[in-house]
Amino acid sequence: MLDMAHVRSFIVLASELNFSRAARRLNITQPPLSRQIRLLEEQLDVSLFERSSRRVALTPAGHAFLHEAQKLVAQGEAAMTAARRAARGSAGSVRVAFVGAATYTFLPDFIARARTSAPQIELELVQMETAEQMKAINDGEIDLGFSRPLAAQHRLDSLCVAREAMMLALPKTHPLSAHRRVRPDMLNGEPFIMFSPQARYLHDMLTRLIAEHRIEPRIVQSMTHSQAILSLVSAGIGLAMVPAGTQNACSTNVIFRPLDLREDCLAELHMIWSPDNRNSLLRDVRAVCEDRHRAVARSSR
């Protein structure tokens, strides 16, 4: 019988491919993590990882086991959720996906509102990028998503539930930190950390902004996620434009300044769902966000 704690540790290590980072995520030290992986490998009688002084990589057996391990953990968690739901007399669940940017401000507020207005509904939460959400909703794996605006052709319904200004993130010691607002021309020649094309919506938005304002920053890195970008800003590698909500991230040595633009540059968050969804509880959860949508609509007039 597999030890589920060992299986979960394997999944985290397979994600990080670094014993130190995986141990921190699991809130343990490296020796216990190494021991758990070794015991799991002995039980399976295979090597799951290739280890060297430079890197950790999955073996072919590790790749094969990862898929099954994720399913095994998901099934276990589903079983526990079902038991708890039955004990509480829950009405059922709604599966909700969200992009990482939603976690800074929007998602905590949404969860609090949902627990107040629909406490009988269980929310099953999972982080997914926008393209993944679209596929999961169309495949019936997810009921509701919080994503960036949909660019490709789709058959999904959507409502804008949040808008936030783009802010300049910079190290506290940078000379531009002395300014209350930063003009676009002040960024000329500055080292700049850009959103990568994988973050299509924000990448395209900033590309347009840079072109329209004739900004000539020096792109030194491109990253997909705001948290990674803020880490590089904190390390002094460069400046970045990020959604205002990222100010809630715990980033040391980073301050934020508004940009003095001709017109506001706003990043939107949308609620998306399939009109063909048959989960009877979806309407109650959507209603939690409809007031937010109306407020956003009024503010844009």
Mean pLDDT confidence for 161-170 = 93
pLDDT at position 298: 64
Q: Which of 296, 281, 233 is nearest to 106 (CA)?
A: 296
Report whether pLDDT(296) > 70: no
Fold exhibited by the domain 91-161+268-299:
D-Maltodextrin-Binding Protein; domain 2 (3.40.190)
Q: Write down the domain spans for the chain.
A: 4-83, 91-161+268-299, 163-266
pLDDT at position 120: 83
Cα 5 to Cα 7: distance, rounded to the nearest angstrom:
5
Give the alpha-carbon dihedral of 182, 186, 190, 192, to 10 degrees.
40
Cα 38 to Cα 48: distance, rounded to the nearest angstrom:
9
Whether the CB-CB separation of 139 and 274 falls below 8 Å is answered with no
Give the amino acid at 156.
L
3-class secondary structure for the chain?
A: CCCHHHHHHHHHHHHHCCHHHHHHHHCCCHHHHHHHHHHHHHHHCCCCEEECCCCEEECHHHHHHHHHHHHHHHHHHHHHHHHHHHHHCCCEEEEEEECHHHHCCHHHHHHHHHHHHCCCEEEEEEECCHHHHHHHHHCCCCCEEEECCCCCCCCCEEEEEEEEEEEEEEECCCHHHHCCCECHHHHCCCEEEEECCCCHHHHHHHHHHHHHCCCCCEEEEEECCHHHHHHHHHCCCCEEEEEHHHHHCCCCCEEEEEECCCCCCEEEEEEEECCCCCCCCHHHHHHHHHHHHHHHHHHCC
Report whether pLDDT(301) > 70: no
Fold exhibited by the domain 163-266:
D-Maltodextrin-Binding Protein; domain 2 (3.40.190)
Domain pair 91-161+268-299 / 163-266, same fold: yes
Whether the CB-CB separation of 97 and 128 falls below 8 Å is answered with yes
Burial class (CB in 10 A: 0-12, 13-18, 19+), 8: middle
**Of 252 and 135, the one with more pLDDT:** 135
Confidence of residue 207 (pLDDT cuts 50, 70, 90): very high
Q: Tell me the per-residue pLDDT of 240-287, one tens digit each, with 9 for 90 and over.
A: 999 998 988 767 899 999 998 877 789 999 999 999 999 989 999 999
Report whether pLDDT(97) > 70: yes
Mean pLDDT confidence for 224-253 = 90
Chain centroid to CA 225: 7
Output the average pLDDT for the chain: 88
Give the residue carrying structure tokens 């959604």: 243
**Architecture of the domain defined by 4-83:** Orthogonal Bundle (1.10)
**Would the pTM count as exceeding 0.85?**
no
